[in-house]
Structure 1
Amino acid sequence: MTEHEPAVKAAIEGELRLLDPEVRRSPELLGSLLHPEFHEFGASGRRWDKASTVNRLHLTFDTVYNGRHAHRSSLWRRTDDGWQMYFHQGTPFTPEGE
């Protein structure tokens, strides 16, 4: 085993945990995987930090409706009235092999 293998293995395990729906819907589990100084630059150009990421949990899924496929993503915010969807996007796609 090379000296880098444990770090690579930990990074892969962390990435896979971030894809786990249970982790993605839990502020505690998601927060435990993000460094206090975490930041992300989204495709929109917006900068996200740990607090804004945890406060706006990402939900992604694919749908098929009337034969049309779409990748979908939702952002949710916790408010005084509970969790509410803040943003949603659907991007059409053609499945591989079609």
Structure 2
Amino acid sequence: MRDTSGRSAAVEAAIENELRLLDPEVRASPEVFDTFLHPEFTEFGASGARWDRESIVKVLAARPDPGGRATTTSRMRGVQLADDVVQLTFDTDTNGRMVHRSSLWRRTPEGWLLWFHQGTPFTPERAPAG
């Protein structure tokens, strides 16, 4: 099913969940953050670190996002790769730290969960137009 923007309901659900994960209130609550992660979650972070579900939740519990670290997103787009898989690509800016991001969301009986995420830092002058 497609909404009036031309995006499928699956893509819309993945975008909604991705934006919730970026919300400072959700990031400040490891218990809430954890509910968006697939049991097999993996991330290659912008820092170069590799994370799994347990390790990323543990880091958030140890140091929740401090105030003032609002993240803005741009160029978010999604593609439904299969009935149960959506890929999102977008850019984030957190206090001037720019990162290209890619996420894979999987539909489960619990809903759409983040299965894989990768962040790659960039500088605006080195980013291709478009």
Q: Under a length normalisation based on structure 1, what TM-score does the superposition of the two structures give?
A: 0.55
CA separation of 1:37 and 1:15: change in aligned 2, threshold 3 A: same
Aligned residues: 66
Aligned-residue Cα RMSD (Å) equals 2.9
Pick the aligned partner of 1:11 from 14, 19, 42: 14
Any gaps of 5 or more consecutive residues in structure 2?
71-93, 98-130
Rounded to whole Å, the distance in 2 between the matches of 1:28 and 1:38 is 15
The letter for the 1-side match of 2:13 is A
Larger helix fraction of residues: 1
Deviation at 1:43, TM superposition (A): 2.7
**CA radius of gyration, larger in:** 1
In structure 1, the residue matched to 2:27 is: 24
Deviation at 1:44, TM superposition (A): 3.3
Rounded to whole Å, the distance in 2 between the matches of 1:35 and 1:10 is 15
Rounded to whole Å, the distance in 2 between the matches of 1:21 and 1:30 is 10
1:47 aligns with 2:50: yes
Deviation at 1:72, TM superposition (A): 8.2
CA separation of 1:29 and 1:72: change in aligned 2, threshold 3 A: farther
**Looking at both structures, which has the greater relative contact order when contacts are Cα pairs under 8 Å and sequence separation is at least 6?**
2
Identity, % of aligned positions = 57
Deviation at 1:45, TM superposition (A): 2.5
Deviation at 1:21, TM superposition (A): 1.5
Moved over 6 A (4+): none
